[in-house]
Amino acid sequence: MQIPTAIQRFAEHYNYLVTIFLMVAGLYVVIARGNMIKKLIGLSLFQTSVYLLYIAPGKIIGGTAPILDPSFKVYSNPLPHVLILTAIVVGVATLALGLALVVRIHEAYGTIEEDEIFAKEGEQ
Amino acid sequence: MKSVTVHLPALQVVVPLLGALLCALLRRGTSAWAMSLIVSWLLPAISIALMLQVLRSGPISYHLGGWAPPIGIEYRVDLLNAFVLVLISIIGAAILPFARRSVAHEIDGDKQAWFYTMYLLCLTGLLGITITGDAFNVFVFLEISSLSTYVLIAMGKDRRALLSAFQYLIVGTVGATFYVIGVGLLYLVTGSLNLVDIAARLGPAAAESSRPVMAALAFLTVGVSLKLALFPLHVWLPGAYAYAPSVATAFLAGTATKVAIYVLLRLFFSVFGVAISFRSLPVSEIMLVLSAAAMLIASLIAVFEMNAKRMLAYSSLAQIGYITLGISLANVAGLTGGIVHLLNHALMKTALFLALGAVVYRIGSAKLDDLAGIGRQMPLTMAAFVVGGLALMGVPGTAGFVSKWYLAVGAFDRGWWPLVFLILASSLLAVVYIGRVVEMAWFREPSEIAAKAKDPPWSMLMPLLALAAATIYLGIDTEASAAIARKIAESLLGGLK
């Protein structure tokens, strides 16, 4: 009895578990990596996990796409999708700006490793 | 005329947004500046009109596109955000006359129009955060202002500006994402995104499903604290303020962190309510310790800083500590002090950074050693600096004294009287670090570069002197700011004691 309930719990919450894993992994990459591109990758991963956090609960089991029709009574919630569409646009803009900054930093310093840049600043 | 006044809340955001687009199309620095000047001078008119309307007939609820809340997005103006709107729009307008020469001096010709575009976009975002009544809308405006802020910082001449902008981008995005996680959790619990509606639905739901609500509170607090640079989450701020163009620094110091503090106030007191914010989690205690640490440690670092701009940045951290201290006291006097300091710090720090901006305009440096003897060469500029500095210390007769007074009263009311010594200690440190600049500027022989400097043109002096005068006026007419702040504090705490 014990093990099936554990599996059931896992199955019921697995979208949240994936979300949390992605969230923590992304945040870890942002903090632990000195390479600026890798930092941005981690940041994107972190943001993506939030998309999942919103989208997953929006699905209602047995619900259809939210198009009004007399033969359906239960609809999935469309609002999270709309919100996340906005968040994705914001995420893309942030990533683009971040990458543009990395290009400029590479031009200015000749490297995109944070420790090397700090070493260069220390010399001055 | 009637039809215009009804749409004032929307215009508050739409006008600078369209202005930003026009600036981008104009391409020429001077015409973009003229454009943004017109736009930014319209904004205080709108915000003051809103403020008067709120004072006359209570909160305004504006339904975007005619969709009624909680389905549609609502712009909601009450006393608190009308106050913040007036503050931000006035600071935004006051800086622009200064901006033309300073920007022309520090930024390449073809990029100047982009600078003004970003300036207005940032203003759009900040005003939007303040005026909107929708939690997700706050995030969108937060990102509008943040993205434009990163660009503004990266426009600094020094290559370290790029590095600071990148660091801020990482930290700022993490903060904004934390905010979205918090809003997501709240949405899952309450099914609403309208701040007023969330507050209403949280009431009964909070007890049963308290864990997601606690998690939401934690995520929102940390996310917003990253944006307002609460003490250990402040690493992005000194670099960003030190290397951004002078105008951008003055603008950000006066507005960006203040809006983040507004969001925190709104979340703690209007959405969660005192019962959830301060009783179920030790938010108040944690915030108190961090504020105290900010007031002491950041001031100490400022004392040893050799670059005047960086020094003022660390001093900003300490001053933000005062404001969050007022929030953590969570009583009427403390909150009044925090809100008054929000206003006062915005005015005096903008004045101080503008004074440094004028110095950079003349001598091209903000290093403390290069400031030697500058006081005799640029007497009006440095006089304004001294006034701003006195307000920072909290000398009676300046605005800083009023806010510190209320904070001390709040600490006594709460029974935490040792905090009064902390406020005094931090003020003494301010005496030391401001004193270093004053000593350098007024009591040394002019250095080689300082000897050639003179006061900047009147277009740059006027905003500076006006802000300095405002800090003195608010220090003498103490009730002007305190009365309205007390009203706000009472309404925030009202009913939930």
3-state secondary structure at position A17: helix
pLDDT, tens only, B126-155: 999 999 999 999 999 999 999 999 999 999
3-state secondary structure at position A84: helix
Least Cα separation, residue B209 to chain A (angstroms): 16
B162 touches B40 (CB < 8 A): no
Contact B166 A36 (CB under 8 A): yes
Least Cα separation, residue A71 to chain B (angstroms): 25
- Spell out the residues 6+ positions from residue B283 whose beta carbon is closer than 8 angstroms to its own: B217, B221, B268, B277, B328
Instruction: Answer whether residue A20 shows pLDDT above 60.
Output: yes
pLDDT, tens only, B273-301: 877 777 777 888 899 999 999 999 999 99
User: What are the structure tokens assigned to B59, written together?
Assistant: 């909160």
Sorting pLDDT into bands at 50, 70 and 90, what band is B252? very high
- Dihedral over Cα of B247, B249, B251, B254: its sign: negative
CA atoms within 13 Å, Cβ hemisphere of B21:
5
B396 touches B452 (CB < 8 A): no
Q: Looking at residue B497, what is its pLDDT? A: 39
Arithmetic mean of pLDDT, B216-220? 92
- Spell out the residues 6+ positions from residue B68 whose beta carbon is closer than 8 angstroms to its own: none
Contact A86 B136 (CB under 8 A): yes
The dihedral formed by the CA atoms of B53, B58, B63 and B66, expressed in degrees to the nearest 10:
-80
To probe the interface with B, which of A101, A118, A121 has the most B CB atoms within 10 Å? Answer: A101
Cα–Cα distance between B223 and A94 in angstroms, integer? 17
Degrees (nearest 5) of the Cα angle B42, B467, B263? Answer: 65
pLDDT, tens only, B450-472: 777 788 888 888 999 999 999 99
Arithmetic mean of pLDDT, B218-243? 91
Residue scoring higher pLDDT (B464 or A73):
B464
* pTM for the full predicted model: 0.93
Instruction: Give me the residue from A87, A90, A105 closest to B162, CB to CB.
Output: A105
Cα–Cα distance between B41 and B59 in angstroms, integer? 24
Instruction: Answer whether residue B77 shows pLDDT above 80.
Output: yes
Q: Which residue is closest to A97 within chain B, CA to CA?
A: B147
Which H or E run includes B75?
Answer: strand B74-77
What mean pLDDT, rounded, does chain B reach? 89
Instruction: Give me the residue from A50, A105, A121 closest to B177, CB to CB.
Output: A50
Cα–Cα distance between A22 and A18 in angstroms, integer? 6
B145 touches A18 (CB < 8 A): no
Q: Looking at residue A68, what is its pLDDT? A: 84
Residue with tokens 């943004």, as numbered in its chain: B36
Least Cα separation, residue A105 to chain B (angstroms): 6
3-state secondary structure at position B107: coil
CB atoms within 10 A of CB B71: 13
Cα–Cα distance between B495 and B171 in angstroms, integer? 36
Instruction: Give me the residue from A53, A94, A101 closest to B173, CB to CB.
Output: A94
pLDDT, tens only, B483-496: 889 989 988 887 44
| DSSP secondary structure letters along B147-171 | HHHHHHHHTSSSTHHHHHHHHHHHH
Which H or E run includes B467?
Answer: helix B458-476
Q: CB-based contact (8 Å) between B167 and chain A?
A: no
